Structure 1
Amino acid sequence: MTVQLNHTIIHSRDHRESAEFLAYFLNLEVGAPWGPFIPVEIANGVTLDFATVPAESITPQHYAFLVSEAEFDEAFEKIKRAKITYFADPHGQRPGEINHNDGGRGVYFQDPSGHGMELITVPYGGFPQ
């Protein structure tokens, strides 16, 4: 058996809000609650399990999603329509821009709990998909 990531838990102020936020931008389904978690499954079978925790317990994390050009276009339009601040870089130095690293496109924005979300159309550094 090869090693695969199966799921990860994402701490959030409101697990439903955060799950629905990500699902909206990436055209994913929010799953049925399972215990304290609200799951969102991505295409490679990994489940992101959102859990509500006290705000002071949240350490902002970074989540990067490899998407197709069409998925990027759709998500980016939703980001702009929602008037969400976005950046071309992870440090927020280039607001209102996207990047074109490695010949693709990328954008950074924050979810409702302050996690950094990134959408890219080409893996960075030429690593295989």
Structure 2
Amino acid sequence: MPIELNHTIVAARDRKVTAGFLTELLGLPEAEVHEPFLAVQLGNRVTLDVMTAAGPIAPQHYAFLVSEDEFDAILGRIRAQDLTYWADPFSQQAGRINHWNGGRGVYVKDPDGHSIEALTRP
């Protein structure tokens, strides 16, 4: 059997807020309760297990490979919510997207400061 990523834990100040942000932004079904987590199910059977953490949150980076249509929808939701977004992982090119590797990419911060990237080409 090939080795596959099954899940990763996403630390949050409030798991409901963070899971809701991710599912809304990415257009995913509502997270499922798997105590002590809210599991955000991705299309490749991987879950983001969002857990309320006691203490400081160390920001992480989560990148999602999406189709062109999904990218348009995600960018539309970012703009509709008036979220700040960037073309780069260093948050220096605000209000722009990138066109790396012949695709498109965008970065946004979740409520806990995690960097959420949507890209159409790896």
Decide: shared fold, TM above 0.5: yes
TM-score relative to the length of structure 2: 0.97
* Percent identical residues: 49
Q: Which runs of 5+ in 2 are unaligned?
A: none
Kindly state the Cα deviation for residue 55 of structure 1 after the two structures are TM-superposed.
4.3
Moved more, 21-30 or 95-104: 21-30
Question: How far, CA to CA, are the matches of 1:32 and 1:118 in structure 2?
Answer: 22
Q: CA RMSD in A?
A: 0.8
Question: How far, CA to CA, are the matches of 2:48 and 2:19 in structure 1?
Answer: 8
TM-score relative to the length of structure 1: 0.92
Q: Is the 8 A contact 1:12 1:55 kept in 2?
A: no
Q: Which runs of 5+ in 1 are unaligned?
A: 124-129
Moved more, 10-19 or 22-31: 22-31
2:47 aligns with: 47
Question: How far, CA to CA, are the matches of 2:42 and 2:55 in structure 1?
Answer: 25
CA deviations over 1:57-84 (Å, ceiling 9, x no partner) = x110000000000000001000001010
1:16 aligns with: 16
Kindly state the Cα deviation for residue 26 of structure 1 after the two structures are TM-superposed.
1.1
1:6 aligns with: 6
State the number of aligned residues.
122
1:54 counterpart letter in structure 2: A
SS at match of 2:34: coil
**4+ residue stretches of structure 1 with deviation over 2 A?**
none
